[in-house]
Amino acid sequence: MDLDYNQIMSIGVYGSAIGLILIGLYAVLIKKHLTKIVIGLSIIDAGIHLLFIAIGYIKGGTAPIFSPAGEKIVANGGVMVDPVPQALVLTAIVIGFAVTAVALSLVIRLYRHHQTARIDQIKSLKW
């Protein structure tokens, strides 16, 4: 075990982000139940958010907030993490919720009409 701190962190964080993306993609492609597909989409969403935040992180940095404590750290030569990916992810999470809600309302509507939410049992084309 001669892994140093950076390698462990990159395996842990990047690995879980890429793993989440792949697992979500698997669910979207393989699963037949519509709710499961939306679950897969939200898992992909989570993985991409984690990847963004991980790219913006700087080792030993503090949160980009200039409170008195943060100012003291910067004055002593400390760094702050990249604020731009955080702002992007902040809005992406809210939009992700809106997209999930609309997708699930479509699922409810489909179920009402076809009495099933499995895409392999929806036979008729019109609704």
Partner 1 sequence: MKKLLVLLLLAVVGYSLITAMMGVKFGENRLGDPQDEKTVSAYYLNNTTQKLSVSNVITAIVVNYRGLDTLGEVSVLFLASLGLGSILYRKHKEGEEEVAILKPSSQLLQAGSKLIFPAILMLGAYVFIHGHLTPGGGFQGGAIIATGFLLMMMAYQDYRVSHSVLVWVESLAGITFAGIGMWGLLLGNTFLENFLPIGTLNNLFSGGIIPIIYIAVGFKVAAELTGVLDTLLNIKDKH
Partner 2 sequence: MMFEAIVIIILAVILLAAAVYAVMQKDLLYAVIATGVISLILSVFFFIMQAPDVALTEAAIGIALTTIVFIITIRNTSRREDEVPMDHEPDRNENDN
Point out which residues bind partner 1 (CB under 8 A).
6, 9-10, 13-14, 18, 21-22, 25-26, 29-30, 51, 54-55, 57-61, 63-68, 70, 79-80, 82-84, 86-87, 90-91, 93-95, 97-99, 101-102, 105-106, 108-109, 112
- Given partner 2, partner 1, none, residue 48, with its beta carbon under 5 to 8 Å by kind, binds none
Nearer to partner 1, 10 or 121 (CB): 10
Residue 115 binds: one of partner 1, partner 2, none (C-beta under 5 to 8 A by kind)? partner 2
* DSSP letter, residue 64: S
If we measure between CA atoms, which residue out of 83, 52, 13 comes closest to residue 5? Answer: 13
Task: Say how far apart CA 108 and CA 120 lie, in whole Å.
Answer: 16
Contacts of 86 (CB under 8 A, 6+ apart): 53, 56, 64
